Chains A and B, each alone.
Chain A
Amino acid sequence: MTMMGYRTFFVTVLSVAWAAGARGQSEGAPTLEGEPYVYTQWESFTSESTDGALVNDHIFFLEPDGDSLWIGTEGGLVLYHDGTWQSWTEADGLPWRVIMGIAKDRKTGDLWLALFGEGIARFSGGRFEHFTQMNSGLLNDVSYGIDIQGDNVWVASTAGISRYNQVTGEWAAFNEQHAPMEEVWTYNVSAAEDKVFFAVWGSGILEWDVATETWKDYLDPDGEMEIDLYRDDGLIHVITTSASYVDRVLWASTYFGLSRYDGRNWRGYLDHDSGLPSMFINQTVGRSGTSSYSATDKGLGVLADFASDTWVTYQRDDEDAATWTAHIMVGGDEVRAVPTDLDLPNHSVISVALMGADVWIGTGHGLARGIGTDFHEGLR
């Protein structure tokens, strides 16, 4: 057996043992402690189905704005509102068409865009204002994420983190010289009232405390790149892709699973011991401290109830399937499959957003809204 083989075997044994122990189930079929909500009714949108109103089918980011949805695509910016579409491309003044992140400044009403390879832009009163590494203090033009905290605009880029204060005009840079980052390639930023979180490829999650203006880093304690040696000892992996902080609970997605941290305890999720369709997670959004939605390359994994480890997993069961299926799972075991009318042809989910009772997903081939009629949180 090769070294890799030993590792795989060892981890598998540990994981299976942990999974069984964690659920307190020694044998038999898993049982539900209550019914999670399942989105069975979906609306799908592609560029073709909208006659080009959705300017591109590669949906990179979704930003709810009241009862409207801002959509960042590879081909421009789109606004969806109650069945109507409006779009902006470079012909309309959009500085660059590839939009990786969107942040609505609730205070000023302005929209901020992370432009892949072209910096960031402020969309205000119909005008785009372009900030780049050449004309501003932005560290780098390859921007992956953007978010607003107070008067500050935070930008995640390949060269680290930039902060722009809209009142003072000051730019601050945070990279390996100014923050606890071994790697600087920052994939995502997520701001809350008192903290701002960053997902840094290879440097885990960084937390910025607004009041003290200090950093704290969350790393994988076992330091292993290929495996998670000790479960729930900390962040599941340092190659992180997003963070979401809600109800003072941190959800962190990685390319090797999902982590949840309540300020005291960590909990890790892998694809074989949870409802995650895949460990390759592009984005995770928390609905609450007990529920999160993970966009993976093989579908959408919804942890519906943390306490009971109840999941709903949305994916195409095979490449030829016309529609997606929702699998209700407890831990890694399926309880029941529920058909849905979601018919997007590609279940590589890149982005996810919650808008009231509805959920929106952006994929490599189109956009869809799960209609949350009679939605309920947790189990019922």
Chain B
Amino acid sequence: MIAKVLAPVVMVLAFGLAASDQAPRERVYVGEQACRRCHHQPGGRDQFSAWRLTKHAQAFAALSMPESREIAELSGIDTDPSKSRVCLGCHATAYDTEEWERDESFHFEDGVQCERCHGPGSEYMDADVMRDSTRAREAGLRMPQERDCLVCHKEKGSHSAVLGVKQFRFEAAVREIAHAGVGGPLDPTDRPTADTLPGPKYIGALGCGTCHGAQSGSRAYGTWRMSRHAAAYATLGTARAGEIAREMGVTGEPQGSDRCLACHTTGGGEPTGRFVESFDAAQGVQCESCHGPGSAYMAQAVMLDPVASADAGLIDVDRTICTRCHTEGIHGRTLDLEAAWPAIDHSAWKDVAQVEYKTPLNLAVTQDGRRLFVACEASNSLIIVDIERGTVSAEVAVGIQPHFVLLSADGTRAYVSNRGSDDVSVVDVSSLRVIATIAVGDEPHEMATNEAGTLLYVANAGTYDVSVVDVAAGKEAKRLAAARGPWGVARSPNGRDVYVTNNLPRYGAFRTPLTSEVTVIDAERSTVARRFTVPDANLIQGIAFEPSGEFALVTLIRTKNLVPMTRNVQGWIITNGVGVLWEDGRVDQLLLDEFNDFFADPTDVVFSHDGSYAFVTGGGVQEVAVIDVERLLQLLEHASPEDRAAVYPNHLGASAEFVVRRIGVGRSPRGMATSPDGRYVYVADGLDDAISVIDVARQERVRVIELGGPQEITQARYGERIFHDAQYTFARQFACHSCHPDGHVDGITYDIEPDGLGVNPVDNRTLRGVNDTSPFKWTGTNPTLTRQCGPRLAAFFTRTDPFTAEQSAALERYIVTIRRPPNRYRTGDELTPAQRRGKALFERLVDKSGNALAPTERCVFCHPPPYFTNRNTHDVGTASPLDTHSEFDVPHLNNIYASPPYLHDGRAHSLEEIWTLYNPHDTHGRTNDLTKAELNDLIEYVKTL
């Protein structure tokens, strides 16, 4: 009975809940044309024309300009600016949306349009909603504030370097873009539909832009959009236009005058039947004003055929066309055609001349000893060198940022790892053609095959794993977990093991000594067999087996990050050496440094064929150290276990016992290879674009082979050399590169200043894409990179004379060009369901109880796109007792997934920990109302930024 009575009540309640719970309609961007319907009232409140004459309306087109490419380069962006999410973030509207979030009437080409500032308009665009400001705001209408403008208009180093510093003043800017008013009534006299007339029709510039826009590799649309032609209609809405019209005897508003429109719009005066429905006269003097109505020639097949396109109406433009409107003395001026013609030229890209270096990083020698295969990072190529002649015999384009090259056992294939495109190029050694490209993990570095040559092991520094590639199938078979930043790979002489070095230390407890790892793979099973633990070391990169297989040598550095870096003058901040890995799991460490002459950045190691010598490149000192292996072993043999564990790893004098020579080579020596006959060691001199040839017997450099890089040394290249050179630090202990390998991070928290032991510990931050994210330093006190790397660096890091102004400028120039890798979690327009849910949380306005969030409780307030930083400092409750500050710089979030650990002192090992462990009071955004699944969603979205 009770159930019967209650049933209707339950139904009503359920229905009521369902009704009130109805999900709000998704807000969609509708584009300026939709806004224009109410906000373009000729002679009245003409907000459209005002906007159309601003740079905002040209913002997307500006990405077609050569300056944009230069700016992009200075931001570490190597893609077309019109395709870069960072560039589009400020030069377009709704760049961070999926296709479903944009109406068909929306066009990126319209640049920074109404909805960039006022929010997606689908739900407030209705005139009834707009008349009620409360309803309109509830429906998503935003009125921007100064901080919203500053997201894009705060001074950016890349833009200042190219365009000059342009101070942004909010009040002046608001006046400049002023478009006061509340809109007008819907225009009932929209262009009437008319019967289609025979003959070609005008399609409008947006139609042309589909193929002639920057995203299609053409600058034509952008150049036009930046020209006055594109503003020709909008300019009729100005007061000056009204005056001219009256002087010419035009009555009424110029934008309604056929006489004015004849020259200020395309097809002005033509009957409506000559236009396709989507044609937009307000775009001004468009492509078809000169080239003729395009409906018959717009098809690609027609356009590519000169005869067919001419037959279809495409006009071969000459200057007489201009004089149809630009008549002598019109509006008191006579057009200088000679000057005007080049100004609107849109026939080809005007690229900034690029100086392309080679930057050889690693190399391999063919079995006959005649050729070197050299992986060149800067030129994205594999260079083949004729050793006897000392010349480059071929250059093969491979993937992006090739790092390592390996020749197959049968010598028929060269495998090239490309850390910028996350793949391996397979090059046919005979034809010198890339015959396959195999996708692997993020940032692949060194490689080795199993003894049979059927499997290829690839160290993925970005994903902390090893790809096992089935060579015959040409695809990855599995991934094996390494430690962090796997880098070097070597197969043991007996073929049983593959050793993989790890560049970054393992995660450890806060402020505890480093521990790194060498991962050992069972080559028969392709499984991880064991892991060497290497205490107090990091940047374990190069590896080679002693020919008998008794042990392996690795290069390493030992970073004392728990004491202030200013202790550098005591000679004990970063020491450099090698590790000896014994098969039973023991590890010995020995330094290659001398008291006052360190051996910075040991990078690669090879053995002489008889195993009596080992050669180690010192990337920061331009030298190759020669180790007498027997003497090294004797030193260890006669040492007590305690000395081997605690003394020799730090002994700055021990190297005199076994380093028999340091051979000078070129700048930034990296990888090495020995000739098949064992007589020579070849060294890739990374920043000289050359190969040094070392005579093993004589232990000296006997020859240099140039790889054909440019002779000109650009400012950025000069800076790159400084970045990799330890001569700028006390006793040559380290280079910038020592803490920023690959321009990235070493994953370590440092104690930098002499303010007490462990006070103000700071996490090392990536240099990739850092340029426009000032201020720098975790406390946000350095407004520029020059300041960051200037006298402060000398005082706290290098402990030598500061860089000269020239050096400082060059270093900054290089740092800003460090390539920003593509985001691996956002390859296309579409988000995954989890990412989509996460985005909603990132941008949410209310908590899960429906309470409005304060601005500082919202993720997007401090982390607005496109850099996802508001470039201010905030106290998010993360200060620890070791900190003397509580406000920290808001880090940018681009590719944030790639640079753990997190927070200013690196205490969060994962993105999750930022909120699960270190945001107990919601001071770092409101997150404690989220379920774990929702927090997962949020993180999945953050990874896409």
Residues of A within 8 A of B (CB): 107-110, 122, 124-127, 129, 133-137, 139-140, 151, 159-160, 166-167, 169-173, 175, 177-178
Residues A133 and B913 in contact, CB atoms below 8 Å apart: no
Q: How far is the CA of A107 from the CA of B531 in the complex (A)?
A: 18
Are B916 and A134 interface neighbours, CB within 8 A?
A: yes
- Contact assessment for A133 and B932 in the assembled complex, using a CB-CB cutoff below 8 Å: yes
Given A135-B909, A167-B441, A170-B940, do A108 and B916 touch, yes or no (CB 8 Å)? no
In the complex, which of the residues B479, B517, B913 contacts A151, with contact meaning CB atoms closer than 8 Å? B479
Any A CB within 8 A of the CB of B910: yes
- Tell me if A108 and B940 are in contact (CB < 8 A): no
B531 close to A136 (CB less than 8 A) = no
A171 and B936 form a contact (CB under 8 A): yes
Question: How long is the Cα–Cα vector from A173 to B525 in the complex, in angstroms?
Answer: 32
Contacts A125-B519, A125-B530 known; A107 to B932 CB distance under 8 Å? no
Q: In the complex, which residue of chain B has the Cβ closest to the Cβ of A160? A: B933
Contact yes or no, B939 A109, CB < 8 A: no
Check A159/B910 contact, CB under 8 A, given A109-B528, A125-B531, A134-B916: no
A sample of 20 inter-chain contacts (CB < 8 A) reads A108-B527, A109-B522, A109-B526, A110-B481, A110-B527, A125-B528, A125-B530, A126-B531, A127-B517, A135-B909, A135-B913, A135-B916, A139-B936, A140-B932, A159-B932, A160-B933, A167-B441, A167-B463, A167-B465, A173-B936
A173 and B527: CB pair below 8 A?
no
Given contacts A126-B530, A172-B834, A178-B933, 18 further A-B contacts (CB under 8 A): A108-B478, A108-B479, A108-B528, A109-B525, A109-B528, A124-B528, A125-B519, A125-B528, A125-B529, A125-B531, A135-B913, A135-B917, A137-B912, A137-B939, A151-B479, A166-B479, A167-B441, A177-B933
With A109-B525, A125-B531, A172-B834 already in contact, the answer to whether A134 and B933 are too (CB < 8 A) is no
Assuming the contacts A109-B527, A133-B916, asked whether A173 and B478 have C-beta atoms less than 8 A apart, the reply is: no
Q: Please state if A127 and B531 are interface contacts (CB–CB under 8 Å).
A: yes
Is there a chain A Cβ closer than 8 Å to B231's Cβ? no
The distance from the CB of B903 to the nearest CB of chain A, in whole angstroms, is: 13
Q: Does B139 contact A (CB under 8 A)?
A: no
Give B509-554 interface residues, CB cut-off 8 Å to A: 517, 519-520, 522, 525-531
User: Does B480 touch A at the CB level, under 8 Å?
Assistant: yes
Please give the distance in Å from B585's CB to the nearest CB on chain A.
Answer: 9
B826 to chain A, nearest CB (A): 13
Residue of A nearest to B479 (CB): A167
Residue A136 contacts which of B530, B912, B933 (CB distance < 8 angstroms)?
Answer: B912
Chain A nearest Cβ from B469, distance in angstroms: 13
**Docked CA distance A136–B916 (Å):** 9
Q: Which residues of B contact A159 (CB under 8 A)?
A: 932
Interface contact A110-B478, CB-CB below 8 Å: no
Kindly provide the distance from the CB of A63 to the nearest chain B CB, expressed in whole angstroms: 16
Known: A126-B530, A137-B912. A169 touches B463 (CB 8 A): yes
Distance of A135 Cα from B530 Cα, bound (Å): 24
User: Contact at B478–A107, with CB atoms within 8 Å?
Assistant: yes
User: Contacts of B909 on A, CB cut-off 8 Å?
Assistant: 135
For the complex formed, measure the closest distance between the CB of B839 and the CB atoms of chain A, giving whole angstroms: 16
How far apart sit A342 and B465, CA to CA, in the bound complex (Å)? Answer: 46
Residues of chain A lying within 8 A (CB to CB) of residue B478: 107-108, 151
Q: Would you give the shortest CB distance from B415 to chain A, in whole angstroms?
A: 20
Contact between A135 and B525, CB atoms less than 8 A apart: no
C-alpha gap A171/B465 in the complex (Å): 17
Residues of A within 8 A of B917 (CB): 134-135
A122 to B465, CA, bound (A): 14
Q: Which residues of A contact B526 (CB under 8 A)?
A: 109
Q: Shortest distance in angstroms between B915's beta carbon and chain A's nearest beta carbon?
A: 10
Docked CA distance A160–B934 (Å): 13
Which residues of A have CB within 8 Å of B522? 109
Name the residue of chain B whose CB is nearest to the CB of A169. Answer: B463
Distance, CA A170 to CA B527, complexed state (A): 22
Give Cα A108–Cα B917 distance, bound, in whole angstroms: 31
Binding site for A on B (CB under 8 A): 441, 463, 465, 478-481, 517, 519-520, 522, 525-531, 834, 909-910, 912-913, 916-917, 932-933, 936, 939-940
Given A108-B478, A167-B479, are A134 and B525 also a contact pair (CB < 8 Å)?
no
- Residues of A within 8 Å of B936, CB to CB, are 137, 139, 171-173
For residue A32, give the distance in angstroms from its CB to the closest CB of chain B. Answer: 45
Q: Contact partner of A110 among B441, B528, B530, CB < 8 A?
A: B528
Which residues on the B side are within 8 Å of A136 (C-beta)?
910, 912
B916 A124 Cβ-Cβ under 8 A: no
Set of chain B residues within 8 Å of A172, measured between Cβ atoms = 834, 936
Residue from B478, B526, B939, B940 with most neighbouring chain A CB atoms (10 Å): B478
Which residue on chain B has the smallest CB distance to residue A139? B932
Are A134 and B481 in contact, CB atoms less than 8 angstroms apart?
A: no
Among A137, A139, A159, residue most surrounded by chain B Cβ atoms (within 10 Å) = A137
| CB-nearest residue of chain B to A171 | B936
- Shortest CB-to-CB span from B918 to chain A, Å, is 10
Complex Cα gap A139–B917 (Å): 15
How many Å lie between the Cα of A241 and that of B933 in the bound state? Answer: 24
Name the one of A124, A126, A175 contacting B481, with C-beta atoms under 8 angstroms.
Answer: A124
Complex CA gap A122/B517 in Å reads 16
B479 & A129 in contact (Cβ 8 Å cutoff): no
A121 to chain B, nearest CB (A): 12
Give Cα A41–Cα B342 distance, bound, in whole angstroms.
Answer: 97
Contact residues in B for A107 (Cβ distance below 8 Å): 478
Chain A residues within 8 Å of B517, by CB: 127
Docked complex Cα distance between A313 and B670 (Å): 68
Contact B481 A135 (CB under 8 A): no
Question: In the complex, are the beta carbons of B932 and A129 less than 8 A apart?
Answer: no
Q: Which residue of B lies closest to A133 (CB)?
A: B932
B868 to chain A, nearest CB (A): 20
Q: Which of B519, B520, B527, B939 has the most A CB atoms < 10 Å from its CB? A: B527
Chain B residues, CB < 8 A from A135: 909-910, 912-913, 916-917
A171 to B939, CA, bound (A): 10
Most buried by A among B465, B517, B519, B933: B933
Identify the 3 closest CB pairs spanning chains A and B, nearest first. Answer: A109-B527, A125-B528, A173-B933
| Complex interface: chain B residues within 8 A of A134 (CB) | 912-913, 916-917
CA distance A109 to B526 in the complex (A): 8
- Residue picked from A107, A110, A129, A177, most chain B C-beta under 10 Å: A107
CA–CA, A108 and B526, complex, Å = 7
Q: By CB atoms of chain A within 10 A, which of B465, B526, B528 has the most?
A: B528
- What is the CA–CA distance of A166 and B463 in the complex, to the nearest angstrom? 10
B933 & A108 in contact (Cβ 8 Å cutoff): no
Using Cβ atoms and an 8 Å threshold, which residues of chain B touch A175?
933
Which residues of chain A have C-beta atoms less than 8 A from B465's C-beta?
166-167
Closest chain-A Cβ to B423's Cβ sits at a distance in Å of 14
Residues of B within 8 A of A109 (CB): 522, 525-528
**Could you tell me the distance between the alpha carbons of A177 and B837 in the complex, rounded to whole angstroms?**
12
Q: B540: shortest Cβ distance to chain A, in Å?
A: 16
**CA–CA, A178 and B441, complex, Å:** 29
Chain B residues, Cβ within 8 Å of A137: 912, 936, 939
- Once the chains are docked, how many angstroms separate the CA of A140 from the CA of B527? 29
A93 to chain B, nearest CB (A): 11
Question: Nearest CB to that of A176 among chain B residues?
Answer: B933
Q: Which of A125, A127, A169, A173 contacts B932 (CB 8 A)?
A: A173
Q: From residue B457, how far is it (CB to closest CB) to chain A in Å?
A: 13
Smallest Cβ-Cβ distance to B909: which chain A residue = A135
How far, in Å, is B822 (CB) from chain A's closest CB?
A: 15
Instruction: Tell me whether A108 and B912 are in contact in the complex, defined as CB-CB below 8 angstroms, given that A171-B936, A173-B932 are known contacts.
Output: no
Q: How far is the CB of B909 from chain A (nearest CB, A)?
A: 6
**Cα A207 to Cα B200 with chains together (Å):** 59
**Which residues on the B side are within 8 Å of A167 (C-beta)?**
441, 463, 465, 479
* Distance A122 CA – B531 CA, assembled complex (angstroms): 14
* CB nearest to A134 among chain B residues: B916
Give Cα A125 to B913, complex, Å.
26
Inter-chain CA distance A137–B940, complex, in Å, is 9
List, in ascending order, chain B residues with CB within 8 A of A122's CB.
481
A126 contacts across to B, CB distance below 8 A = 530-531
